[in-house]
Structure 1
Amino acid sequence: MGMFLNSRNCFEDYRETVSDTYFVDKSALIRELIPALEKKNRYFCITRPRRFGKSVMANMVGAFFGKAADSSGLFAGLQITKDKEGNDNQDYHKHLNRHNVIFIDFSEIPRDCTDYRQYIDRIQNGINNDLAQAYPDFEIHTEDAVWDILSDIFQKTGDKFIFVMDEWDALFHMPFITEEARRTYLLFLKALLKGKVYVELAYMTGVLPIAKYSSGSELNMFLEYDMVTKKKFGEYFGFQECEVDRLYQIYQEETDRPGITREALRIWYDGYYTASGKRLYNPRSIVCALTDDELANYWTSSGPYDEIFYYIRNNIESVREDLVFMIAGEGVQAEVRNYAAVSMELNTRDEIYSAMVVYGLLTCINGKVYIPNREIMEQFKNLLMSKESLGYVYNLAKESEKMVKATLAGNTQMMAEILKYAHDTESPIFSYNSEIELSAVVNLVYLSARDQYRMEREDKAGEGYVDFIFYPEQRAADAFILELKIDSTPEEAIQQIKDKKYALRFQGKTGEKPKYTGRILAVGISYSRKTKEHFCKIEELR
Structure 2
Amino acid sequence: MYIVAMALKRFPIGVQDFAVIREDDKYYVDKTDLIYKLVKADRYFFLSRPRRFGKSLLVSTLQYYFEGRKDLFTGLAMETLETEWKKYPVFKLSFAGNKFDTLESLQISLDNMMAAFEELLGIKNMAKFEWGVRFGNILQAAYNATNTPPVVLVDEYDAPLLDSMENPELQLTLKNEMRKLFSPLKDLGGILRFVFLTGISKFSQLSIFSELNNLKVITMNDDYAAICGITKEEVLTQMQPEIQALADKNGMTYDGACEALTRQYDGYHFSKNSPDVFNPFSLINSLSDGELANYWFSTGTPTILTRLMRKYKVDPTPFDTGFEATLDMFDAPTETAKNPIPMLYQSGYLTIKNFDGFAYTIGFPNEEVRLGFLKALMPYYAMDDVVDNDMFMLRFTKALRKGKIDDAMTHIRVFMSGIPYNAERKDENHYKTVLFLIFKLCTPYVVRTEECSAAGRADAVVETADAVYVFEFKLDSSATVDDALKQIDDKGYLIPYSVTMAKDGSPKKLFKIGVTFDQEKRTIGEWKVVEG
Q: Tell me the TM-score normalised to structure 2 length.
A: 0.72
**Kept in 1: contact 2:349–2:373 (CA 8 A):** no
SS at match of 2:249: coil
C-alpha distance in 1, partners of 2:117/2:226? 33
Q: 1:257 to 1:118 in 2, by over 3 A?
A: same
Percent identity over paired residues: 20
- The reply on whether 1:294 has 2:284 as its aligned counterpart is no
Find the counterpart in structure 1 of residue 198 from structure 2: 205
Deviations 1:230-270 (A, max 9, x none): 32311212222111213440304666933271111112112
Cα distance, 1:352 vs structure 2: 0.9
C-alpha distance in 2, partners of 1:444/1:174? 28
SS at match of 1:482: strand
Find the counterpart in structure 2 of residue 370 from structure 1: 363
Q: 1:384 to 1:521 in 2, by over 3 A?
A: farther
Matches within 5 A, 1:425-436: 427=428
Find the counterpart in structure 2 of residue 223 from structure 1: 216
**Kept in 2: contact 1:289–1:296 (CA 8 A):** yes
Q: 1:208 to 1:325 in 2, by over 3 A?
A: closer
C-alpha distance in 2, partners of 1:167/1:158? 29
Find the counterpart in structure 1 of residue 67 from structure 2: 66
Q: CA RMSD in A?
A: 4.6
Matches within 5 A, 1:297-446: 297-304=294-301, 306-315=303-312, 318-319=313-314, 322-326=315-319, 329-331=321-323, 336-339=329-332, 341=334, 343=335, 348=338, 351-365=339-353, 366-388=359-381, 404=397, 407-408=400-401, 410=403, 427=428, 443-446=436-439
Cα distance, 1:407 vs structure 2: 4.1
C-alpha distance in 2, partners of 1:110/1:382? 25
Find the counterpart in structure 2 of residue 118 from structure 1: 108
**Kept in 1: contact 2:182–2:209 (CA 8 A):** no
Q: Give the unaligned 5+ runs of structure 1.
A: 1-8, 83-88, 133-139, 431-436, 473-477, 508-513
Find the counterpart in structure 1 of residue 13 from structure 2: none
Q: 1:194 to 1:237 in 2, by over 3 A?
A: farther
SS at match of 1:203: strand
Deviations 1:468-520 (A, max 9, x none): 77566xxxxx443234687747679697367x4222xx44xxxxxx69x9x94
Deviations 1:97-156 (A, max 9, x none): 533322222336699994433222112221111122xxxxxxx44446342343255357
Find the counterpart in structure 2 of residue 284 from structure 1: 281
**Kept in 2: contact 1:248–1:262 (CA 8 A):** no
Q: Give the unaligned 5+ runs of structure 2.
A: 1-15, 128-133, 354-358, 417-425, 473-483, 517-524
Cα distance, 1:534 vs structure 2: 6.5
Q: 1:323 to 1:534 in 2, by over 3 A?
A: same
1:287 aligned partner, one-letter code: I
- The reply on whether 1:12 has 2:19 as its aligned counterpart is yes
SS at match of 1:181: helix
**Kept in 2: contact 1:105–1:166 (CA 8 A):** yes
Find the counterpart in structure 1 of residue 33 from structure 2: 28
Find the counterpart in structure 2 of residue 258 from structure 1: 249
User: How many matched pairs?
Assistant: 464
SS at match of 2:190: coil
C-alpha distance in 1, partners of 2:495/2:195? 61
**Kept in 1: contact 2:142–2:150 (CA 8 A):** no
Cα distance, 1:157 vs structure 2: 5.2
Q: 1:427 to 1:167 in 2, by over 3 A?
A: same
C-alpha distance in 2, partners of 1:445/1:141? 61
C-alpha distance in 2, partners of 1:444/1:213? 39
Matches within 5 A, 1:410-489: 410=403, 427=428, 443-457=436-450, 470=462, 478-483=465-470, 488=486
**Kept in 2: contact 1:10–1:62 (CA 8 A):** no
**Kept in 2: contact 1:399–1:418 (CA 8 A):** yes
- The reply on whether 1:245 has 2:236 as its aligned counterpart is yes
Find the counterpart in structure 2 of residue 271 from structure 1: 267
Q: 1:428 to 1:211 in 2, by over 3 A?
A: closer
2:495 aligned partner, one-letter code: Q
Q: 1:304 to 1:164 in 2, by over 3 A?
A: closer
Deviations 1:69-94 (A, max 9, x none): x442x322222234xxxxxx3xx121
C-alpha distance in 2, partners of 1:60/1:239? 16
Cα distance, 1:163 vs structure 2: 1.7
C-alpha distance in 1, partners of 2:108/2:412? 58
SS at match of 1:360: coil
2:95 aligned partner, one-letter code: F
Q: 1:125 to 1:384 in 2, by over 3 A?
A: closer
2:22 aligned partner, one-letter code: R
C-alpha distance in 1, partners of 2:430/2:173? 45
